[in-house]
Structure 1
Amino acid sequence: MPRPIAQDHDDKRDAILRAAARLFADVGYGRGSMAEVAQVCGISKANIYHYYPSKEALLFDILDSHLRYLRDRIGNLSFPSSDPKAKVLHMITEVLLAYQDADAEHEVLLNATKALPKEQQQILRQHQSDLIGYGQTILTLITPPDIVADSGKMRALTMSVFGMLNWHYKWCRNADAETRRAHAKIIAQLVIGGAPSLS
Structure 2
Amino acid sequence: MGRGRHAGYDDQREAILAGAARLFAGHGYSATSMNQVAQACGLSKATLYHYYRDKYALLFSIADSHVERLQRIVVETAQADGEPRERMHLLIRRFVQEYADAQDAHWVLTSEVRFLEPADRQRVLDRERAVVAEFAKVIAGLRPDLDEATLAKPLTMLLFGMVNWMFTWMKPEGALDYEAMAPIVTDLFLGGLQAVQAPQPALAQNRQLSRG
What TM-score, normalized to structure 2?
0.82
Residue pair 2:19, 2:37 contacting (<8 A) in 1 also:
yes
* CA distance in structure 2 between the aligned counterparts of 1:78 and 1:53, rounded to whole angstroms: 36
Tell me what 2:100 maps to: 100
1:93-137 per-residue CA deviation (whole Å, 9 max, x = no partner) reads: 111011121111011111110111000000100111111112111
Query: Which region of structure 1 is more displaced relative to structure 2, 165-174 or 43-52?
Result: 165-174
Tell me what 2:148 maps to: 149
Question: For the aligned residues, what is the CA RMSD?
Answer: 2.2
Tell me what 1:64 maps to: 64
Higher relative contact order (CA 8 A, sep 6+): 1
What TM-score, normalized to structure 1?
0.87
* CA distance in structure 2 between the aligned counterparts of 1:24 and 1:116, rounded to whole angstroms: 14
Alpha carbons of structure 1 residues 55 and 173: separation in structure 2 relative to 1, 3 Å: farther
Query: Which region of structure 1 is more displaced relative to structure 2, 88-97 or 70-79?
Result: 70-79
Tell me what 1:28 maps to: 28
1:52-91 per-residue CA deviation (whole Å, 9 max, x = no partner) reads: 1111011101111111011102221278873433322221
Tell me what 1:197 maps to: none
* CA distance in structure 1 between the aligned counterparts of 2:128 and 2:48, rounded to whole angstroms: 28
* CA distance in structure 1 between the aligned counterparts of 2:19 and 2:91, rounded to whole angstroms: 29
Query: Which region of structure 1 is more displaced relative to structure 2, 45-54 or 86-95?
Result: 86-95
Residue pair 2:73, 2:91 contacting (<8 A) in 1 also:
no
Give the letter aligned to residue 187 of structure 1: V
Taking only the aligned residue pairs, the percentage that are identical comes to: 35
- Equivalent positions of 1:115-194 (< 5 A) are 115-143=115-143, 145-151=144-150, 153-174=151-172, 179-194=177-192
* CA distance in structure 2 between the aligned counterparts of 1:183 and 1:175, rounded to whole angstroms: 14
Structure 1: 5+ residue runs without aligned partners? 195-199
Give the letter aligned to residue 75 of structure 1: V
1:138-169 per-residue CA deviation (whole Å, 9 max, x = no partner) reads: 122222x3311122x22111110111111111
Structure 2: 5+ residue runs without aligned partners? 193-212
Tell me what 1:13 maps to: 13
* CA distance in structure 2 between the aligned counterparts of 1:83 and 1:29, rounded to whole angstroms: 42
Give the letter aligned to residue 146 of structure 2: I
1:38-61 per-residue CA deviation (whole Å, 9 max, x = no partner) reads: 111111111111111111011101
Residue pair 1:33, 1:55 contacting (<8 A) in 2 also:
yes
- 1:26 Cα deviation after fit: 1.0
* CA distance in structure 1 between the aligned counterparts of 2:133 and 2:171, rounded to whole angstroms: 26
Tell me what 2:204 maps to: none
Residue pair 2:19, 2:41 contacting (<8 A) in 1 also:
yes
* CA distance in structure 1 between the aligned counterparts of 2:188 and 2:60, rounded to whole angstroms: 35
- 1:175 Cα deviation after fit: 8.1
Residue pair 1:21, 1:105 contacting (<8 A) in 2 also:
yes
